[in-house]
Amino acid sequence: MIDPISLAVGAGLFATGLLAGKLTRRRAPADTTPKPLCGCSHGLEQHDPDTNECHGQILHKDARTEDGTWIGNQWVPCTCRQYVGPKPFEELYAPPMLPPQDTL
């Protein structure tokens, strides 16, 4: 026969564990998917697929002229010449698509 006191103690421990888990669990941010980034901090979408050059811009803080005059913050073109971040899954494992052949 099941002892009712042991059953009540077990149910109490179970409820305490559930309550402790609900109160102490960490909330994940809404967007937890990692973004593939290049060393220049731009994504693959900013790099030209043919030349691999980056089309993004970088904020150059405290920009100055050659004689040292402060001109403020400027957006300058990124100098990255090749995407070095992680490659997309499709590019690694999918065969390249060939153009349709004309059958005459």
3-state secondary structure the chain: CCCHHHHHHHHHHHHHHHHHHHHHCCCCCCCCCCCCECCCCCEHHHECCCCCCECCEEEEEEEECCCCCEEEEEEEECCCCCCCCCCCHHHHHCCCCCCCCCCC
Tell whether 102 is covered by a domain. no
Using the predicted structure, report yes or no on whether residue 80 has a pLDDT greater than 80: yes
Task: Note down the domain range covering 46.
Answer: 36-86
Residues 75 and 47: their CA atoms lie apart, in Å, by 17
Using the predicted structure, report yes or no on whether residue 16 has a pLDDT greater than 90: yes
The total of structural domains in the chain comes to 1
Tell whether 97 is covered by a domain. no
What's the full length of the chain, in residues?
104
Task: Using pLDDT thresholds of 50, 70 and 90, give the confidence band for residue 7.
Answer: very high
Residues 70 and 63: their CA atoms lie apart, in Å, by 6
Tell me the per-residue pLDDT of 23-64, one tens digit each, with 9 for 90 and over.
888 776 666 666 778 888 888 888 888 888 888 898 888 788
Q: Tell me the Cα Rg of the chain.
A: 29
**So what's the pLDDT on residue 1?**
62
Tell whether 50 is covered by a domain. yes
